[in-house]
Amino acid sequence: MALILKIAATLLILVGIIWFLQGINVLPGSVMTGDMKWAVIGGLSVLVGIGAWIYAGRRPKPPAA
Quick one: average pLDDT of 7-27? Answer: 95
Q: Is residue 16 part of a domain?
A: yes
Neighbours of 22 (CB within 10 A): 21
Rounded Cα distance, 10 and 15, in Å: 9
Going by pLDDT thresholds of 50, 70 and 90, the confidence category of residue 16 is very high
**What residues make up the domain containing 45?**
2-57
> How many structural domains comprise the chain?
1
Rounded Cα distance, 50 and 40, in Å: 15
Rounded Cα distance, 12 and 44, in Å: 10
Q: Is residue 20 part of a domain?
A: yes
Q: Is residue 65 part of a domain?
A: no
The reply to whether the predicted model has a pTM over 0.95 is no
Q: How big, in percent rounded to 5, are the helix, strand and coil portions of the chain?
A: 70, 0, 30
